[in-house]
Structure formats: structure tokens, C-alpha cells
Amino acid sequence: MISSFGPPIDLSDLPGYKLTDLRPRIPVFVGRVSTKDGTQNPASSIPRQVAHASARLKEGEEFAAYFWDVESGMLPPELRGLGPHAMYDALAVPTPRDGGLQDLVERAELLGYTHVLAERSDRLARAMLTSLTVEHELEKIGVEVVYANEPVGGTESGRLRMRRQSQVDAEVYRSVMIEMSMGGQAQHAIGGWNHGYPPYPYIAVIDENAPRPEKARFGITRPKRKLAAHPDSRRFDAASELCRLRREEHLKAADIIAILSSDPDRYPIDGKWTHTLVEGLIANPKLTGHQVYNRKATRTGRPGFSRLNPVSEWVWSPQIVHEPVVSLQEWKEAQKVTAALRAGDQRSTSLARLRATAARRGLTVSQVSSNATHTLYRIGARQVAVPSSLPDVIVQQIIDDLEGTS
């Protein structure tokens, strides 16, 4: 910036009167659209952003590259631009794409970019920390970030005040949108409608009685769905049994998997039983017949990871809204057993001893049926009826019998 308090005589012919940036000016465009459908169409939004940002190019200049994403502005830079090329190609956006925000930050110094132009700051990111971080990283390598909606001229403090206010507005808008979204999702669960993929013993069916606006403001609305029992009733029985094995017999996932896998006709599964599936079903409160939301925080900043929220933050439907596999009290007891197992409190039960002996002989122990006094178990090809309390003396007799079998 040339000083308004110049010398009394013309000194412009002196060496060093004005420093010249020896680097050629190389401006690039950066933009963002939140979604690829609905009210934000990338095929029209991105070219519009380019047109607005172009107003800050000097005469005869063109953008050397175009960096834009179709992703939430709430994501940190390292999670931006990870969408597959096929998705971007399918959008048919007339503006070329040389990468996303993270690509821009990584390549700016290598390719000698000098200016990054965007329509406004929230096109960089809605989270103020992200936009500040990107600005700081680019500033360190001598790259200036320019937003087209900022005024030309004036004082640096005035420009900075407007930029930071715009970033605060974007951050506040981000918070409002999260609050509104969370509120809507909470009401969705309270109403009994399902979020996500249905658990193993259920399918998701459209609720024909759910209210549906005649014309949605933001395009076509997805129908609300409730959980219903899977057409294969054996899935309900399998889910009930694996929960019982944890709750009553204190079995680890590996033992439960062995039991379920030993009788595929009784406990059907697409593929195979896994530790993740078994533990996930035992921990899933939807098996109680209630809808539950906010169990996980998916945006943790770590790709592929979700953080479990405290139970106190979960949103439950007040009533049972679909057929339960277990009661709420039974589910609670199973969680206590799981916590004890993870803490190392593995009680040596009579049944655990029996299972260990059977396992050494390549056999599994599974419950066939039970009543108030007795339980029928299958041990390999044999069936044994024992008192439900499973006294040690009877267990020892069965163990001796197994070990004495040639």
C-alpha cells in the first residue's frame, strides 16, 4: 500500500522506492456446494461462484486452476474432497475440477499459486476454525486469500473486521443448522421412525400413516419408515438367543459365534457371524422395541470412525414402536454383563466349564428349550435335560461323561 504521506519531492526514481513481487501472479478458484441434489445444484452453483469470484481478477487474467468440493462446509480440510471421481464426473458441472480444498492446500506452494479467490468465506468452510486454518497455512507460503464479497480499498482493519464477522456469521449459521437438524432427527425418533440400516432381526417398511407434505420445500422428501419383524422369524429367535447368552450365561462374542454358527438352519445369517455383528446387536437398544437416536457421533474428524455418545445423550421414543426382541430390563442387564466382561470380571460359571470341555472335543453346547424348572441343551448330537439352576454336581457328571467318551 502506497503511503498517503509521501516525500516533499518525487523520489519514485530511487531504487527500492517500490518493492515488486517477482513471482508471476497465478490466481486459482476455490468453491464448495453442500449437496449434489435438492436446492443446491453444483452444475449451476459452481459456475455462479466462479463468475462472482472472477470479479476480483485483474484485467486479462484467468484462473490457473479450479478447486471445489461437493461436501458439507462443516468438515475439516483433511476430510474434504474425498468423493470418488465418478461422482464428480456424473454431476456434469461445466467448470473443470483440479481437486478439492485439501488438494489446494497441499499443492499451492509447489505450483506457485499467489492468490486464492472465492465468492465468500463460507465457500471455504462454515466452521471458522477451518477457514482460519486454511488462510493461515496459505499465508505462510505467501498466498493471499481473496473473497469477492469484501470491499476493495479502505483500511486493513476494516477489511479484517468484515472478514471475521462474515466467518462468525457462517459459524453461527452452522450451529443453527446443527441444532435444527438434531431437533428434527430427535422428533423423528420420538415419532417411532427409523434412522439408518435396520438391525438384523428387522426390516424397514414405509409408514403409510406418517404425515407427508403435499409439496416439499426442498425437493422430494423421503418416506418415513418404521421397523418391522424380518420375514424370516428365525432371525428374531437368533437375536433373542444371542442376547440371552450374554445376559444369562455371560458369554464372550467368540463363544456366542461358535454356538450360532454350529446351527445355521436355526440361526441364519447372510455371510457369517462376526464379533462386530454380535456385539452390535447386544448393544443395540432398538431390540427393546424403542426407537433410539444419537447413539453415535459420526463426524469425529477421523475417517471411518464414529464416537459413541453417552447413554444420557440418547433420544428414546417414549413408547414401544415396533416388536421387541428383548425387554428393556433384559437389555439393561446384558449391558451390565458386557461392561463386566470388558472390565475383566469373567465369572467362572458351571455352564462355562461345560462349554470349555465340549469345545476341547470339537462340540458346542446350545440351549434347545427351557421352562421354569429345567433346560434342554444340545451337546453335539446329544440332548441333555438339566435343572435350570445347573448344579455343579450335575455339570461335573456331564463333564466326566464327555471326557470318558472315546
Within this chain, do residues 341 and 353 fall inside the same structural domain, yes or no? no
What is the three-class DSSP state of 228?
strand
Give the Cα separation of 70 and 66 in Å (integer). Answer: 13
**Domain stop point among 147, 177, 207:** 177
- State pLDDT tens for residues 260-298: 999 999 999 999 999 989 999 999 999 999 999 988 876
DSSP 8-state assignment for residue 30: E
Within this chain, do residues 76 and 169 fall inside the same structural domain, yes or no? yes
**Domain stop point among 132, 148, 177:** 177
Residue 18 lies in a domain: no
Q: Are 303 and 281 in contact (CB under 8 A)?
A: no
Within this chain, do residues 145 and 257 fall inside the same structural domain, yes or no? no
Q: Shortest CA distance to 64 belongs to which of 140, 143, 120, 163? A: 143
Average the pLDDT over 121-144 and give the result.
Answer: 86
- State pLDDT tens for residues 42-83: 888 999 999 999 999 988 899 999 999 888 766 766 677 667
Band of residue 91 on the pLDDT scale cut at 50, 70, 90: confident
Q: Quick one: pLDDT at residue 202? A: 95
Within this chain, do residues 200 and 316 fall inside the same structural domain, yes or no? yes
Within this chain, do residues 127 and 55 fall inside the same structural domain, yes or no? yes
- State pLDDT tens for residues 365-403: 888 888 878 888 889 888 988 887 777 778 888 888 887
Residue 124 lies in a domain: yes
Q: Quick one: pLDDT at residue 163? A: 81
Residue 186 lies in a domain: no
Within this chain, do residues 219 and 289 fall inside the same structural domain, yes or no? yes
Give the Cα separation of 32 and 130 in Å (integer). Answer: 14
User: What total number of domains does the chain contain?
Assistant: 3
**Domain stop point among 151, 177, 203:** 177
Give the Cα separation of 67 and 100 in Å (integer). Answer: 5
Within this chain, do residues 279 and 226 fall inside the same structural domain, yes or no? yes
Average the pLDDT over 22-34 and give the result.
Answer: 87
- State pLDDT tens for residues 319-340: 999 999 999 999 999 999 998 8
Question: In terms of residue numbers, what domain contains 157?
Answer: 27-177
Q: Quick one: pLDDT at residue 335? A: 92
CATH number for 199: 3.90.1750.20
